[in-house]
Amino acid sequence: MKMIFRWFPNGDDSVTLKDIRHIPGVSGVATALSHIPVGEVWPLEQILSLREEIAAAGLEMEVIESVNIHEDIKKGLPSRDEYISNYITTVKNLHDGGIKCICYNFMPVMDWLRTNLSQSLSDGSTVMSYHHDEVLRMDPSKMADSMLKGANCYSLPGWEPERISAMVKDIEFYKNLSPEQYFDNIRYFLDAVMPFAEEYDINFAIHPDDPPWPIFGLPKLITEVDTIRRFLSLHSSSRNGLAFCTGSLGANAANDLPAMIREFSGQGRIHFAHLRNVKHSGERDFHETAHLSQCGDLDMFEIVKALSDTGFDGYIRPDHGRMIWGETGRPGYGLYDRALGSNYLLGLWEAIRKMS
């Protein structure tokens, strides 16, 4: 297992590589060439120069989060073949740049969604939260405004300008696409790309839908045990795996996360784990919390134990944290609380390993 930390290059992060190097037990970063528009090839030279920058700070770059999927692939349009071909070239270049794992998602239109990027907790810290009633009342055309307003001038992954400009039109498009057709589009992508994942020894880790239920009538598929089983069965290669995000899947209290980890990690299908905690305040309402079990509704001990017991040897990163100690930055991605979280998780990992 390697503990890593998400980091955004090109000055688009309040956290520096030097900061990350100071966190004990963290060996590398999950990062991306996020300035390249979705659908275009990532040039090898740029991958290598980012790798050098990260190596110069004493850190590894083995995980990309994310290489986004062009909307035409998700929609199943004829133009998808060109974008898939570009994607495969990017995979080859990432292989040549020493990458071992690619995180991505197949969420239509938008990536994750929250209704408040800075909700105050009783300890004075702030976190991101989600209230479903507010989403039901939301005008999709105003949604991006409200997300970006809370972003403290940092880019928000999954909320790139090209996505936002097409958002309302795209929501309409998906109203006519059945979940069956959507699964077919994922299968088409996997059938094209997985042979290259094999050839280049790169694990693919799909991120679950966040939150794990439909919004604006959009198909949501990577949300619970049944749909994840179905996704994994679309392509049997063990390279076709999961970025198991406890915060995303854990927003639905019906998901038994340790059992899901035992099943999917036991099959060697979890390549990357995003570990964070959430507190439910209603069936479809939650806020994020510090990583400790006692701070939220997820049992982080059982989650880490399930990974350890199944011989998990992929990457873990602390996912979103609180904003504490006066820090400002991209919501969820401050330094301090994620550093605390990583060391809590490493402590659990060491104790579980030594006692088993």
Q: Which residues bind Mn ion (CB under 5 A)?
A: 245, 274, 319
Tell me which of 103, 320, 336, 344 is the catalytic residue. 320
**Rounded least distance, CB 303 to Mn ion, Å:** 13
Q: In this complex, which beta carbon is closest to Mn ion, that of residue 88 or of residue 335?
A: 335
Q: Is 207 a catalytic residue?
A: yes
**Rounded least distance, CB 66 to Mn ion, Å:** 10
Tell me which of 70, 95, 131, 207 is the catalytic residue. 207
Q: In this complex, which beta carbon is closest to Mn ion, that of residue 86 or of residue 227?
A: 227
* Sign of the torsion angle spanned by Cα atoms 181, 182, 188, 194: negative
Q: What is the CB neighbour count within 10 angstroms for residue 161?
A: 11
Helices and strands counted in the chain (H then E)? 13, 12
- DSSP letters spanning 316-343: EEE----B-TT--SSTT--SHHHHHHHH
Tell me which of 274, 291, 336, 344 is the catalytic residue. 274
**Rounded least distance, CB 324 to Mn ion, Å:** 20
Q: In this complex, which beta carbon is closest to Mn ion, that of residue 209 or of residue 263?
A: 209
Q: Is 320 a catalytic residue?
A: yes
**Rounded least distance, CB 246 to Mn ion, Å:** 8
**Rounded least distance, CB 220 to Mn ion, Å:** 15
Tell me which of 83, 315, 333, 336 is the catalytic residue. 333
The three-class DSSP label of residue 258 is helix
Tell me which of 101, 103, 245, 295 is the catalytic residue. 245
202/199 Cα distance (integer angstroms) = 8
Nearest partner of 212 among 327, 71, 105, 353, judged by Cα? 105
212/223 Cα distance (integer angstroms) = 5
Q: In this complex, which beta carbon is closest to Mn ion, that of residue 93 or of residue 265?
A: 265
Q: Is 333 a catalytic residue?
A: yes
Tell me which of 319, 336, 337, 344 is the catalytic residue. 319
Q: In this complex, which beta carbon is closest to Mn ion, that of residue 88 or of residue 205?
A: 205
Nearest partner of 204 among 303, 311, 314, 97, judged by Cα? 314
Q: In this complex, which beta carbon is closest to Mn ion, that of residue 72 or of residue 210?
A: 210
- For the chain, the distance separating the N- and C-terminal CA atoms, rounded to the nearest angstrom, is 16
**Rounded least distance, CB 317 to Mn ion, Å:** 8
Nearest partner of 197 among 274, 106, 111, 84, judged by Cα? 84
258/56 Cα distance (integer angstroms) = 37
105/36 Cα distance (integer angstroms) = 17
Instruction: Cite the active site residues.
Output: 207, 245, 274, 319-320, 333
